[in-house]
Structure 1
């Protein structure tokens, strides 16, 4: 009966929608407090639902990550696209990097999960990570072409360094992560654009 059109999902019943929202809220709180590897069964318990309900909505940990993070990552990619019109390519790149750091520090261990998802094509977050990398790449290329950053800088370098600053924020303090980010941004500049 293949008509070539994908099957549409039926809308969730009100109770199923509430369960899903509770699960996402509890996952967000648990990941912020304890990290991205927090027990899924404990998230279900905190949400007041059975494990089967959790796995019915999110069959894998990665599916839960995608539901929790996918929209935010797509928004970060969209912010990158908007910043391509910034008068200063370096300032646009800097603003995007700072947004990326805020995003990456939402949940403990998120940086590691994102770095894995970038490489893992089977990950539910892979497409969102690729969109973020593409936005970062466009900003880096624009700043490189303007001579405002080093000619060898890549979006993957930026992504890795943002994750390193996020890790430092988790391990010591937000101030440490911000300091590392400032040093990193200065290191991106070409000699003629250093302040």
Structure 2
């Protein structure tokens, strides 16, 4: 993120526009969308795209990280439900987001090009929220003792990958799975 702050205003605008266009195209066409098409629709040259994002993985991480940051902010902004319901609702929101960004979960899990799995799939952001939600639900005895935040993140991602672009089925499968972790 520091790199973004040091960019000139036009560089920041180009970077933001690239991420915005990439998010739209990935949601519609999948994570293998042409980088040249992203650059063209963003109104920049291919070299500009590659200067900001040296690899497809770096661009996908930026697309995913922005969306996950928004999901995490929403989780923090609306507590107050029963802890188990709060956890289930937020996990459903994450699942639907991941499912509707075709191919993104699988592409980000691929991991190459110098990015760790934690950096690529934004596990750090997700885990902080999930850990807090799991702690609240566990404190009132609403979860099985063995249910961990890490397991729930894996569960959500697996459901998203298995039900790509089918949020209705993903919601149903997640609800079935969450029934198994509740007391």
TM-score over 0.5 (shorter chain): yes
Tell me what 2:99 maps to.
Answer: 105
RMSD: 3.0
Question: Of 147, 169, 179, which residue of structure 1 is paired with 2:141?
Answer: 147
CA-to-partner distance for each residue in 1:9-50, whole Å, 9 max, x for gaps?
A: 545344x45533442233123211222232323322343432
Corresponding residue of 2:8: 12
Whole-angstrom CA distance in 2 between matches of 1:41 and 1:124: 27
Q: Secondary structure at the match of 2:155?
A: helix
Partner residue, 1:73: 68
Count residues with an aligned counterpart.
180
Q: Deviations over 1:79-101 (max 9, x none)?
A: 34445x43411011112112212
Match of 2:180 among 174, 178, 187: 187
Q: 1:31 aligns with which of 26, 29, 49?
A: 26
> 8 Å contact 2:118–2:124 — kept in the other structure?
no
Tell me how far apart the structure 2 counterparts of residues 69 and 156 of structure 1 sit (CA, whole Å).
18
Q: Distance in 2 between matches of 1:122 and 1:175?
A: 31
TM-score, length of structure 1 as denominator length: 0.75
Which residue does the alignment assign to 2:131?
Answer: 137
Matching residue of 2:84:
90
CA distances 1:57-88 after superposition (whole Å, capped 9, x unpaired): 222223312332323222323334445x4341
Q: Return the structure number with greater relative CO, CA threshold 8 A, min gap 6.
A: 2
Return the alpha-carbon distance in structure 2 between the equivalents of residues 127 and 114 of structure 1. 6
Deviation at 1:106, TM superposition (A): 3.6
Kept after mapping to 2: 8 A contact 1:65/1:125 = no
* CA contact 1:26–1:47 (8 Å) conserved in 2: yes
Distance 1:115 1:96, change over 3 A: farther
* TM-score, with structure 2 as normaliser: 0.79
| Structure 1 runs not aligned, ≥5 long | 1-5, 191-195
Compared CA separation, residues 124 and 18, structure 1 to 2 (3 A): farther
- Computing the radius of gyration from Cα coordinates, the structure with the larger value is 1
